[in-house]
Chains A and B, each alone.
Chain A
Amino acid sequence: MSSAVADYIVRIEGTCGAESDIIVVLKFDKKDQALEKILKKATLKNKIADIIYDLTYGEYSFRFYANGKIIFRGITNKQTLNKILDDLLI
């Protein structure tokens, strides 16, 4: 992950459970800027009351929460996640 992207992120956590989901927690003061960038590059599938955004990027689906959390589904590889984050946030 590039340092520019790392500047958006507080923490990345793998979820507990059999699902290979990853939660990315964004810095509170950067979340709106991150959303703006993501919406330009990812495909918006659904939006609920400006709180929840269902998105896809390539073969990956993810959900952006307006409180600054993103859940990526089906990603087990850290390099893959880093590349997606670089693509979306640079």
Chain B
Amino acid sequence: MVDFYENHNANVHRGVHTLSLEATELYEQGRERVANFVNAKESSEIIFVRGTTEAINLVAYSWGLNNLKKNDEILVSLMEHHSNIVPWEITAKIRGFKINYANVTSDGILDVKDFENKINSKTKLVCLSHVSNVTGMVNEIKKLSKIVHDHGAIMLVDGAQSVPHMKVDVQDLNADFLVFSGHKMLGPTGIGVLYGKKELLQNMSPFQGGGEMIKDVVFDPANQRCNISWNMPPWKFEAGTPNICGVVGLTAAIKYLEQVGMDNILAHEQALTKYALNGMKNLGKIMLYGPMNSNKCGIITFGLAELSSHDIALLCDSYGVAIRSGYHCAQPLHQIFQLQSSARASFYLYNTIEEINRFIEVLKEIQTL
């Protein structure tokens, strides 16, 4: 990123001067790299956005507003992050379609039977997280995607918590849309990705208007209006100057993750999680939430008796351990768990067994307070 700003800083797809061509080359190389990373058929299926939230909003507004109407239904799960609930509630109010919510068990596992029961011929779209940001539970997207497509619906997969941690193959999963964020995978903030199948993207309306996303803007003197034709995807969805340096940073992050190996990263996280769970189970006042099986990523959500999650987080912070507290932007799942909030420890490829030991030592101290 430093090299970009020092040596190649210019806008993309605009100028014919060397700097602009270099910036464009880096930007489009990044798109190729991302496409390869998630095994998209072609790079035009990769749209750069600010993050997962913007990607879901893009689908909700560009696809949802044009394809969902009264009497249509969509299916969303109760384990979703608010970013995969709120855009659909907003667009449902505008278009009048129905949102069904698939239940989650008290263990934090998707109720697949309820999921199947709530898909019908009216269902046009299913929105589901690949991995829960609260419990780390991995949903069986490939199996669920088949159910969705058998009913003639399409599927949006929230990969914010899966793409950074495991090999994700959009063709194997048969995901129609996949969304994820750069900042959760060693990249910078403010850059994210929407993958969409080419035929869907081609038929979608633009999300925002501006430069780059248009082919022509021709003024018609007779009507005193401009006639506009859209650019091809992905540029149709990238109005204005994009976050070029963000793409450069995301590309570097992906290169690094690929060098380490996604399978190695997942194995490391699962080993840390198992180790941490074993240590935490022995703490007297601990309450662990979510599934405890091996089908989860490096997330442990917990509470300590008589302490609020914020107390736990502030106490951990006093010892130099950073954890999250609150709803984690997933209030409906906390309603299922009957929790006011929860504390969450999460691990990534840079965490070590020594850090887990320290974390457990801190929890031991905290529970004696």
Q: Interface of A with B (CB < 8 Å)?
A: 15-19, 21, 23, 46, 48, 51-52, 63, 65-67, 69, 71, 73
Docked CA distance A63–B341 (Å): 18
- Residues of B participating in the A interface, judged by any CB pair closer than 8 Å: 308-311, 314-315, 317-318, 325-329, 334, 339-341, 369
Q: Across chains A and B, which 6 residue pairs bring their CB atoms closest together, nearest first? A: A17-B341, A16-B326, A18-B340, A17-B326, A15-B310, A19-B340
CB closest chain-B residue, reference A46: B369
Cα–Cα distance between A36 and B69 once the two chains are bound (Å): 62
- Does the CB pair A71–B318 fall under 8 Å? no
* Chain A residue nearest to B309 in the complex (CB): A17
Which residues from chain A contact B340 at a C-beta distance below 8 Å? 17-19
**B326 and A51 form a contact (CB under 8 A):** no
A18 touches B311 (CB 8 A): no
**Chain B residue contacts of A51, Cβ below 8 A:** 318
B314, B326, B334: which contacts A69 (Cβ < 8 A)? B314
Per the bound structure, the CA–CA distance linking A79 and B46 in Å amounts to 49
Measured in the bound complex, the distance between the Cα atoms of B310 and A21 in whole Å is: 8
- Since A17-B308, A17-B310 are in contact, a sample of 9 more A-B pairs with Cβ atoms closer than 8 Å, ordered by chain A residue number, is A15-B325, A15-B326, A17-B327, A18-B340, A65-B317, A65-B318, A66-B318, A71-B314, A73-B308
Chain B residues whose CB sits within 8 angstroms of the CB of A71 once the complex forms: 310-311, 314
A-B contact pairs, 23 of them (CB 8 A): A16-B326, A16-B328, A17-B308, A17-B309, A17-B310, A17-B325, A17-B327, A17-B340, A18-B339, A18-B340, A18-B341, A19-B310, A19-B341, A21-B310, A46-B369, A52-B318, A63-B311, A63-B314, A65-B315, A65-B317, A65-B318, A66-B318, A67-B317
State in angstroms the CA–CA spacing of A79 and B280 once bound together: 40
Q: Is the interface of A mostly helix, strand, loop or mixed?
A: loop
* CB closest residue in chain B, given A21: B310
Within 8 Å by CB of A52, from B308, B315, B327, B334, lies: B315
**Chain A residues in 8 Å Cβ range of B310:** 15, 17, 19, 21, 23, 71
- Shortest CB–CB separation between residue A50 and chain B, in angstroms? 11
Give the CA-CA distance A19 to B339 in the complex, in Å.
Answer: 10
> Among the interface residues A21, A46, A51, A73, which one has the most CB atoms of the partner chain B within 10 A?
A21
Residues of B with C-beta under 8 A to A21:
308, 310
Which residues of the other chain, A, contact B327 by a CB distance below 8 angstroms? 16-17
Give the residue of A15, A19, A23, A52 whose beta carbon is less than 8 angstroms from that of B369: A52
- Structural contact, A48 and B369, CB atoms closer than 8 A: yes
Residues from chain A with a CB closer than 8 A to the CB of B314 are: 23, 63, 65, 69, 71
Report A-chain residues with C-beta under 8 Å of the C-beta of B339. Answer: 18
Taken together as a complex, chains A and B put the C-alpha atoms of A46 and B315 apart, in Å, by 14
* A17 nearest CB neighbor, chain B only: B341
In the complex the two chains form, is B341's CB within 8 Å of A16's CB? yes
Determine how close the nearest CB of chain A comes to the CB of B58; give it in whole angstroms.
Answer: 25
Contact A19 B308 (CB under 8 A): yes
Q: Please indicate the chain B residues that have their CB under 8 angstroms from the CB of A65 in the complex.
A: 314-315, 317-318
- A58 to chain B minimum Cβ distance, whole angstroms, is 20
Pairwise interchain contact B318-A67, C-beta atoms closer than 8 A: yes
Q: Give Cα distance in the complex from A21 to B329, angstroms.
A: 17
A66 CA to B315 CA in the complex, in Å?
A: 10
Q: Given A17-B327, A52-B369, is A69 in contact with B341 using a C-beta cutoff of 8 Å?
A: no
User: Separation in Å of the B193 CB from the closest CB of chain A?
Assistant: 26
Chain A residue with the shortest CB-CB distance to B317:
A67
The docked-state distance in angstroms from the alpha carbon of A65 to that of B318 is 7
